[in-house]
Amino acid sequence: MGETGDPRFLPFLTTWFSRSSGNERVNVLQALGRIRRREKSLAEAGSIEIRAWSAKAIGSRRSLVLGTAGAGGVGTDYQSERMRAGGLFVY
């Protein structure tokens, strides 16, 4: 669970910590630490905003234009020429 870094495991691990002992408790504590460190590093990294500027479907052809912005402002727009059968290709 700690390997994933998924914070959804925190409530379970916190409860399990109080019920565990010995090596199991050490493992739970390490998993909690990994998840909390990952949360902290993600918070420090900041956020990115992604906006869909336009989306078109003409027959079987799909076009998607995305805009990105982070802490530094607006980034580059990327255009997807194909979005078929569950695949998304962003150029």
Query: Rounded to an integer, what distance in angstroms lies between the CA atom of residue 49 and that of residue 81?
Result: 21
Does residue 14 or residue 53 have the better pLDDT?
14
* Domain boundaries defined on the chain: 7-45, 49-89
pLDDT in tens, 66-88: 777 665 554 444 444 333 333 34
**pLDDT of 72:** 54
pLDDT in tens, 41-67: 888 877 777 777 778 888 888 888 877
Decide if 66 contacts 83 (C-beta within 8 A).
Answer: no
Decide if 80 contacts 64 (C-beta within 8 A).
Answer: yes
